[in-house]
Amino acid sequence: MAAGVTMANKFKYLVMIGSIHCLTDVFKIALMQTGFTFDKDAHHAYANISGSELATANGYTAGGFTLTGNTVTEDDTDDRTEVTWNSATWTASGAIGPSPGAIVYDDTVTTPTADPIVMYIDFGGDQTQVAGGVATISNIETRAA
């Protein structure tokens, strides 16, 4: 379903200075409204994008879904480190969406940037989950190479 993942520059910086702890911090994933365009240079924090998030309705809650299963893996074969989380799901009581993608952010960090954005997952076009269905984002991961 995902067309691509773009890591936020602020995330890279905050990891390098030790502000973000990928194994222990709380991360959330939020669905964005139609027309949202991610800017990896300017979108530093949840506050920068919250006005473009889907509103609370039909099984979706603004502020996002709390991700679980934080895992960090060193991959010496492909020369990278991967951070992964379990799937995120929303059960639709009415239509959820349309949404062009999702933002993952760190809900633990408060300084020097509160709720920094980790990445944007581009769905490759607007997606809508109809009433009675389950919207799922699987294989949530980001990589540092």
Residue ranges covered by each domain of the chain = 4-144
Q: Residue 145's pLDDT band (boundaries 50, 70, 90)? A: confident
CA distance 75 to 49: 32
Q: Residue 56's pLDDT band (boundaries 50, 70, 90)? A: very high
Q: Residue 3's pLDDT band (boundaries 50, 70, 90)? A: low
Q: Residue 18's pLDDT band (boundaries 50, 70, 90)? A: very high
Q: Give the contacts of 60 (CB within 8 A, at least 6 positions apart).
A: 31, 54, 90, 92, 96
Q: Residue 60's pLDDT band (boundaries 50, 70, 90)? A: very high
Average pLDDT over residues 88-110: 97
Task: Compute how many other C-beta atoms are within 10 angstroms of the C-beta atom of residue 26.
Answer: 13
- Please say if the pLDDT value at position 65 is more than 60: yes
Query: By 3-state DSSP, what share of the chain in percent is helix, strand and coil, each rounded to 5?
Result: 10, 45, 45
Burial of 49-66, coded b for 16+ CB within 10 Å and e otherwise, reads: beebbbeeebbbeeebbe
Q: What is the pLDDT of residue 2?
A: 52
Reduce the DSSP state of residue 72 to 3 states and report it: strand
Mean pLDDT of the chain: 95
Q: Convert the pLDDT of each residue in 30-53 to its tens digit.
A: 999 999 999 999 999 999 999 999
